[in-house]
């Protein structure tokens, strides 16, 4: 038994299937409604983890993973099948185009496991946490993307029999972003981010402290758990392209030096996510 060993934290690979019929953007505290034998087994494991965490104070947590994809994935799964057939100028057989998934890259999932292991507190022992992007992608969208990427001339075929647990709404509940000041972007502008992590809602605000349009942008956390200053610099790179340099400065507290390499990798991935979110705000302004 892990309980008899010196274990800093045990992070279990759960599944979004635990929500079953309640799959449309559920929060971690929402009831599960398993609709398959697999889902029932995952809920049972989550309940066991909850018991050991809450009643026996064992450092454990359950991550409810959405549709993970990436290197070393089972070749029979959807994304590898799409790529394999696409290379031959064809499609795999698809289920109903309205069926959706929340696809999350394996690097982001690995980061979630590491972050959970490094940050698990006694208040979180036994809890379950959603690991997804919060964006549903319909099978019809997957087929359209494959057609564009691989230049497939034929029409996709959606004749694969649906499984009893396939649903049109299957995606995670995610965080929010909003302007705290009126757009457009300028000195003193503030953008607020809200993130859900380990069952807590973390809120932090970036303030623009230097802005030279087309050349340089510096923003600093005006409030939040991780003091940080981020600098973006842009330079012409020829052929009508632009090179952007991104630099972060800060000393987040609460992490050991041994966690440095993991934190650096996590920060790079977090930067990519935040840049995507920030771009969506600016382009909508």
- The per-residue pLDDT string of the chain (285 residues; one tens digit each, 9 = 90 and over) reads 666 777 889 999 999 999 988 887 888 888 899 989 999 999 999 999 999 999 999 999 999 999 999 999 999 999 999 999 999 999 999 988 988 888 999 998 998 999 899 888 898 999 999 998 888 888 999 999 999 999 999 999 998 877 666 656 656 654 556 778 887 888 999 988 766 543 445 677 889 999 998 899 998 888 766 677 889 898 888 777 778 888 877 665 544 444 455 555 556 666 666 666 666 655 665
Task: Enter the tokens of residue 259.
Answer: 């966690």
Q: What is the pLDDT of residue 135?
A: 82
Q: What is the pLDDT of residue 265?
A: 59
| C-beta of residue 231 within 8 angstroms of C-beta of residue 220 | no
Q: Same domain, yes or no, for 134 and 189?
A: no
Q: Same domain, yes or no, for 205 and 113?
A: no
Q: Same domain, yes or no, for 30 and 135?
A: yes
Q: What is the pLDDT of residue 258?
A: 46
Q: What is the pLDDT of residue 243?
A: 82
Q: Same domain, yes or no, for 138 and 268?
A: no
> Domain of 110?
7-150
Q: What is the pLDDT of residue 281?
A: 57
Let me know if residue 164 belongs to a domain. Answer: no
User: What is the distance, to the nearest Å, from the Cα of residue 33 to the centroid of all Cα atoms in its chain?
Assistant: 23
From 131, 127, 119, select the one nearest 226 (Cα to Cα): 119
Structural domains of the chain, count = 2
């Amino acid at each position: 038994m892990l309980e008899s060993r010196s274990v800093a934290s045990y992070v279990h690979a759960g599944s979004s299937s635990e929500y079953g019929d309640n799959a449309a953007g559920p929060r971690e505290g929402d009831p599960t409604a398993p609709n398959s034998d697999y889902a029932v087994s995952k809920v049972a494991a989550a309940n066991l983890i909850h018991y050991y965490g809450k009643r026996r104070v064992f450092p454990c947590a359950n991550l409810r993973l959405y549709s993970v994809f990436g290197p070393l994935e089972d070749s029979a799964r959807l994304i590898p099948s799409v790529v394999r057939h696409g290379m031959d100028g064809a499609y795999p057989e698809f289920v109903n185009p309205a069926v959706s998934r929340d696809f999350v890259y394996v690097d982001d999932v690995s980061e979630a496991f590491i972050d959970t292991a490094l940050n698990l507190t006694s208040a979180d022992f036994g809890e379950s946490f959603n690991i997804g992007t919060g964006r549903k992608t319909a099978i019809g969208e997957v087929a359209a993307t494959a057609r564009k990427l691989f230049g497939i001339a034929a029409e996709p075929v959606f004749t694969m029999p649906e499984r009893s647990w396939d649903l049109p709404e299957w995606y995670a509940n995610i965080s929010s972003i909003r302007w705290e000041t009126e757009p457009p972007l300028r000195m003193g502008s503030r953008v607020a981010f809200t993130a859900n992590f380990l069952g807590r809602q973390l809120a932090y605000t970036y303030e623009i402290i230097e802005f030279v349009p087309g050349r340089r942008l510096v923003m600093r956390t005006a409030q939040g758990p991780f003091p940080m200053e981020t600098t973006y610099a842009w330079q012409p790179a020829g052929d009508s392209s632009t090179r952007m340099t991104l630099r972060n400065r800060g000393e987040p507290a609460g992490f050991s030096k041994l966690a440095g390499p993991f934190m650096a990798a996590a920060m790079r991935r977090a930067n990519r996510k935040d840049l995507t979110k920030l771009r969506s705000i600016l382009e909508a302004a």
